[in-house]
């Protein structure tokens, strides 16, 4: 130990003699003293063994969103130890670590826990845990037990949103020449495999331009400009009025006795999503044998007509969602159908079953661990005919790293949705009525706290979030328009449902929302009336409230791995709080037992510290009701930070 510290201190003495700059203000003069130190160890989350040769980074919290900026780096020694010396006094130092074969880790868990040091102080025993990624693998085979080669396999993870289990879309891969697949880089959680099988249907009379998603106006403009029409995918006639795209999905077996067959969307361990068991993946675990069996079913046709204005029918595409498949996003459909100019549509080659037919300006899904990478790297699902002109993908995330990806179809201003059951003979005569999406407009107001630095810009954006977690409602966002009067906003493409207003940027946080004079800060706005809203005032503040402290056990010793949860005292806010509730937050404690819950709105809260065995209990229905009796009540005034000491408590 002495040799290790002597080496580090000797190397750091040069930095100390140069007088380290103030990490919180790069333009400031060098600090008068730089004689503090921070040391600790990097360990494996599962084995608890030290990790050698990890890259350890000392950083500092900067900016209104408390982002850590790395300042210095070093490797951990053979016993996983590190030490940074020559540090100036400060209140926002951070430690993070990285090593090949592990997910990156940071002191404080999923959020940085800032470290405060005084002149000459030595902060010891900082522990950063790194977790190994997990994986699972299996085989896709058909009804004869033969491997299915070159088909997509998508990972779904089970996540908790607003008190309910939802499916998040994850990485995408393809089977090899043995029908095998493997998906790695998975964080601990519950997973299952899905083999997409989208029957993309178009009318036999559809032109190549229409199949490519071009309206007649777009086609004419392309021809006038001398541009060609995109090539249509390979198609197969299902019947005299419908063709089916053959790209990228399991090829159905040949007809038998004049009857066509198809492969439905398939899941590991079950033919129906609700019956498919999830596989638990722990840190570093490898699960094999997560197989998917494809069973052919007789193919039927679902047809009908869409009623609506002619301009809304142009280039319109419908999605046929499997039962329970609202969360699966693009690629999770049983089929898609391009609507003909007269409004007629036909889904060909789909199995009998219970479905939802929908069309909307948004195609959305929850996204799980590592799923953001799958949007840009590796295998990609083909776009169904007609579904083109997609806008940039955006999203938000909650405390559990669950993202929300909402893709918007440009120019689509109508929606329709209906449920049906198709029997052995299919379903004909389905009528779908298009409805206009709604508009919400109003003002964004910034109220600056004079005790804090004013943000460089006024609030510019606000978005809507489904209070119930309904994926199909999307996440409509205001569009910044520099020609509009300052502070005004418009959100288009809103469908009937319950919504919360969300927005956080440039140091601003929502402090109140009024709609037609009524308070909707935490009460969902119901848009099911079908009316537009024009008198909305969203008020932002740069005041920051937080709760911090230390969690101890019955003996007074700090508790590592506890989960601190804060939730509002008002029972009405314990349900229908959406994906990212501003008043429900959690944090895990490091070895010091310290915690910090940031950017809480002012108000009354309950705070409780749960043992590691109950780290996920707060997501369960009824938890807040059971926990409030054992929790500590805290009131936060604007700009206030409170220190609350907690005893770890098991909630029965």
What pLDDT is attached to residue 1? Answer: 42
Helix (H) or strand (E) holding 32: none
What pLDDT is attached to residue 238? Answer: 83
- Please give the full DSSP string across 492-505, using - where no structure is assigned: EEE-SSEEEEE-EE
Query: 483-501, pLDDT tens digit by residue?
Result: 567 789 999 999 999 999 9
Q: Strands 438-447, 533-541: parallel, antiparallel or unpaired by DSSP?
A: parallel
Residue 566 or 270, more confident: 566
pLDDT band at 25 (very low <50, low <70, confident <90, very high): very low
Q: What's the CA gap between 607 and 567, in Å, rounded?
A: 7
Residue 369 or 323, more confident: 323
For all residues of the chain together, what is the average pLDDT?
A: 85
**Mean pLDDT for the stretch of residues 628-643:** 96
Q: What's the CA gap between 550 and 560, in Å, rounded?
A: 10
Non-local CB neighbours of 64 within 8 Å, separated by 6+ positions: 453, 455, 506, 507, 542
> Do residues 413 and 306 share a domain?
yes
> Do residues 442 and 295 share a domain?
no
What pLDDT is attached to residue 354? Answer: 95
Residue 224: both structure tokens together: 């006038």
Does 136 map to a domain?
no
Place of tokens 């007509």: 305
**Separation in Å, CA 185 to CA 134, 277, 371:** 6, 21, 10
Place of tokens 């994906």: 579
Q: What's the CA gap between 463 and 474, in Å, rounded?
A: 10
What pLDDT is attached to residue 163? Answer: 73
Share of the chain above pLDDT 70, in %: 86
Closest to 108 (Cα-Cα) out of 583, 586, 605: 586
Residue 542: both structure tokens together: 């740069």
Share of the chain above pLDDT 90, in %: 56
Query: 27-70, pLDDT tens digit by residue?
Result: 444 545 889 999 999 999 899 999 999 999 999 876 545 566 77
Backbone angles phi, psi at 310, to 5 degrees: -60, -35
pLDDT band at 372 (very low <50, low <70, confident <90, very high): very low
Q: Where are the alpha helices (DSSP H) in 417-464?
A: none
Do residues 198 and 149 touch, judged by C-beta distance below 8 A? no
> Do residues 558 and 451 share a domain?
no
Task: Look up the CATH number of the domain holding residue 104.
Answer: 2.60.40.1120
**Mean pLDDT for the stretch of residues 383-402:** 58
Closest to 335 (Cα-Cα) out of 354, 319, 358: 319
Closest to 304 (Cα-Cα) out of 321, 324, 320: 320
Let me know if 153 is exposed, middle or buried by CB neighbors in 10 A (0-12, 13-18, 19+).
Answer: buried
Does 150 map to a domain?
no
Does 152 map to a domain?
no
Q: What's the CA gap between 268 and 539, in Å, rounded?
A: 47
Closest to 325 (Cα-Cα) out of 117, 156, 460, 136: 156
Q: What's the CA gap between 481 and 492, in Å, rounded?
A: 13
Closest to 185 (Cα-Cα) out of 64, 281, 73: 281
Residue 464 or 110, more confident: 464
The DSSP symbol for 368 reads -
> Do residues 535 and 571 share a domain?
no
pLDDT band at 22 (very low <50, low <70, confident <90, very high): very low
Range(s) of the domain holding residue 600: 547-575+583-647
Place of tokens 């449920």: 419
Residue 635: both structure tokens together: 């009131």
Residue 124 or 396, more confident: 124
Does 143 map to a domain?
no
Does 420 map to a domain?
yes
Residue 114: both structure tokens together: 């800032």
Residue 199 or 13, more confident: 199
Q: What's the CA gap between 42 and 54, in Å, rounded?
A: 8
Does 140 map to a domain?
no
pLDDT band at 392 (very low <50, low <70, confident <90, very high): very low
pLDDT at 207 over 70: yes
Closest to 278 (Cα-Cα) out of 160, 143, 102, 144: 160
pLDDT at 8 over 60: no
**Mean pLDDT for the stretch of residues 464-478:** 90
Do residues 638 and 541 touch, judged by C-beta distance below 8 A? yes
Do residues 240 and 171 touch, judged by C-beta distance below 8 A? no
Q: What's the CA gap between 402 and 394, in Å, rounded?
A: 13
pLDDT band at 390 (very low <50, low <70, confident <90, very high): low
Query: 239-295, pLDDT tens digit by residue?
Result: 888 888 877 789 888 889 989 999 999 999 888 898 899 999 999 999 999 999 999
pTM of the model: 0.84
> Do residues 302 and 161 share a domain?
yes
In a 3-state reduction of DSSP, which class is residue 8?
helix
Residue 82: both structure tokens together: 């590190």
Least confident window among 143-157, 284-298, 358-372, 576-590: 358-372
Does 398 map to a domain?
yes
Place of tokens 């002149």: 119
pLDDT band at 214 (very low <50, low <70, confident <90, very high): low
Q: How many domains does the chain have?
A: 4
pLDDT at 476 over 80: yes
Least confident window among 107-121, 189-203, 513-527, 610-624: 107-121
pLDDT band at 442 (very low <50, low <70, confident <90, very high): very high
**Separation in Å, CA 612 to CA 186, 256, 551, 564:** 21, 57, 12, 10
Which residue spans within 409-459 are E strands per DSSP? 414-422, 427-433, 435-436, 438-447
What pLDDT is attached to residue 67? Answer: 63
**Mean pLDDT for the stretch of residues 171-194:** 93
Do residues 159 and 168 touch, judged by C-beta distance below 8 A? yes
Helix (H) or strand (E) holding 67: strand 67-75
Q: What's the CA gap between 508 and 452, in Å, rounded?
A: 12
Q: What's the CA gap between 602 and 539, in Å, rounded?
A: 14
Helix (H) or strand (E) holding 425: none
What pLDDT is attached to residue 197? Answer: 94
> Do residues 442 and 431 share a domain?
no
**Mean pLDDT for the stretch of residues 185-197:** 92
What pLDDT is attached to residue 620? Answer: 85
Residue 371 or 347, more confident: 347
Query: 568-602, pLDDT tens digit by residue?
Result: 999 999 999 988 899 999 988 887 888 989 889 99
> Do residues 36 and 89 share a domain?
yes
Q: What's the CA gap between 292 and 142, in Å, rounded?
A: 9
Task: Look up the CATH number of the domain holding residue 518.
Answer: 2.60.40
Do residues 35 and 120 touch, judged by C-beta distance below 8 A? yes
pLDDT at 473 over 60: yes
> Do residues 258 and 392 share a domain?
yes
> Do residues 425 and 443 share a domain?
no
What pLDDT is attached to residue 21? Answer: 46
> Do residues 195 and 303 share a domain?
yes
- Please give the full DSSP string across 607-631, using - where no structure is assigned: EEEE-GGGTTGGGSTTHHHHHTTTS
> Do residues 310 and 370 share a domain?
yes
pLDDT at 435 over 60: yes
pLDDT at 166 over 70: yes
What pLDDT is attached to residue 460? Answer: 85
Q: What's the CA gap between 534 and 529, in Å, rounded?
A: 14
Do residues 602 and 636 touch, judged by C-beta distance below 8 A? yes
Residue 435: both structure tokens together: 């409805």
What pLDDT is attached to residue 27? Answer: 43
Does 195 map to a domain?
yes
The DSSP symbol for 68 reads E
> Do residues 274 and 417 share a domain?
yes
């Amino acid at each position: 130990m002495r040799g290790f510290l002597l080496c580090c201190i000797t190397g750091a003495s040069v930095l100390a003699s140069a007088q380290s700059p103030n990490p919180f203000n790069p333009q400031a003069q060098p600090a008068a003293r730089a004689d503090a130190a921070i040391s600790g160890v990097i360990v494996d989350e599962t084995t608890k063994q030290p990790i050698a040769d990890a890259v350890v980074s000392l950083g500092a919290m900067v900016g209104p969103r408390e982002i850590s900026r790395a300042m210095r780096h070093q490797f951990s020694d053979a016993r996983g130890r590190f030490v940074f010396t020559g540090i100036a006094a400060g209140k926002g130092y951070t430690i993070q670590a990285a090593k090949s074969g592990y997910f990156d880790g940071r002191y404080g868990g999923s959020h940085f826990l800032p470290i405060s040091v005084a002149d000459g102080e030595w902060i010891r025993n900082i522990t950063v845990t790194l977790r190994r990624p997990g994986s699972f693998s299996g085989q896709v085979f058909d009804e004869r037990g033969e491997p299915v080669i070159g088909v997509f396999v998508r990972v779904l993870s089970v996540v908790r949103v607003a008190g309910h289990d939802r499916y998040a879309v994850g990485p995408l891969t393809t089977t090899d020449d043995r029908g095998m697949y493997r998906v790695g880089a998975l964080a601990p959680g519950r997973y299952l495999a899905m083999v997409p099988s989208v029957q993309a249907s178009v009318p036999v009379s559809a032109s190549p331009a229409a199949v490519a998603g071009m309206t007649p106006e777009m086609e004419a403009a392309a021809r006038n400009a001398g541009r060609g029409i995109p090539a249509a995918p390979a198609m197969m006639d299902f019947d005299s009025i419908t063709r089916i795209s053959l790209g990228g999905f399991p090829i159905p077996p040949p007809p038998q006795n004049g009857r066509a067959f198809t492969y439905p969307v398939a899941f590991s361990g079950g033919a129906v999503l609700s019956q498919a068991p999830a596989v638990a993946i722990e840190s570093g675990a490898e699960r094999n044998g997560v197989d998917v069996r494809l069973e052919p079913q007789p193919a039927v046709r679902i047809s009908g007509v869409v009623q609506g204005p002619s301009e809304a029918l142009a280039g319109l595409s419908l999605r046929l969602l499997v039962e329970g498949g609202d969360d699966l996003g693009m690629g999770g459909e049983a089929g898609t159908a391009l609507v003909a100019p007269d409004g007629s549509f036909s889904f060909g080659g789909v199995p009998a079953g219970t479905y939802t037919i929908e069309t909307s300006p948004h195609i959305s899904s929850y996204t799980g661990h590592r799923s953001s990478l799958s949007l840009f790297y590796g295998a990609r699902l083909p776009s169904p005919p007609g579904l083109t002109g997609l806008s940039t993908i955006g999203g938000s995330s909650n405390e559990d790293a669950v993202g929300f990806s909402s893709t918007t179809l440009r120019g689509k201003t109508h929606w329709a949705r209906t449920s049906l059951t198709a029997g052995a003979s299919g379903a004909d005569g389905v009528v779908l009525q298009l409805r206009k999406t709604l508009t919400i407009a109003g003002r964004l107001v910034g109220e600056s706290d004079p005790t804090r630095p004013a943000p460089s810009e006024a609030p510019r954006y606000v978005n809507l979030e489904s209070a119930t977690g309904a994926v199909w409602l999307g996440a409509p966002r205001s569009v910044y328009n520099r020609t509009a009067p300052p502070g005004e906003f418009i959100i288009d493409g809103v469908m009937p449902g319950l919504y919360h207003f969300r927005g956080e940027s440039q140091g601003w946080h929502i402090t109140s929302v009024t709609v037609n004079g009524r308070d909707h800060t935490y009460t969902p706005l119901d848009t099911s009336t079908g009316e537009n809203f024009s008198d909305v005032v969203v008020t932002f503040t740069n005041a920051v409230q937080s709760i911090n402290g230390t969690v101890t056990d019955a003996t007074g010793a700090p508790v590592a791995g506890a989960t601190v949860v804060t939730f509002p005292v008002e029972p009405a806010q314990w349900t229908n709080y959406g994906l990212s509730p501003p008043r429900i937050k959690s944090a895990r404690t490091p070895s010091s037992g310290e915690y910090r819950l940031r950017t809480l709105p002012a108000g009354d809260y309950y705070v409780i510290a749960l043992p590691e065995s109950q780290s996920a209990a707060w997501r369960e229905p009824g938890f807040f009701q059971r926990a409030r009796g054992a929790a500590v009540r805290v009131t936060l005034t604007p700009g206030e930070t409170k220190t609350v000491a907690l005893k770890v408590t098991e909630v029965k």
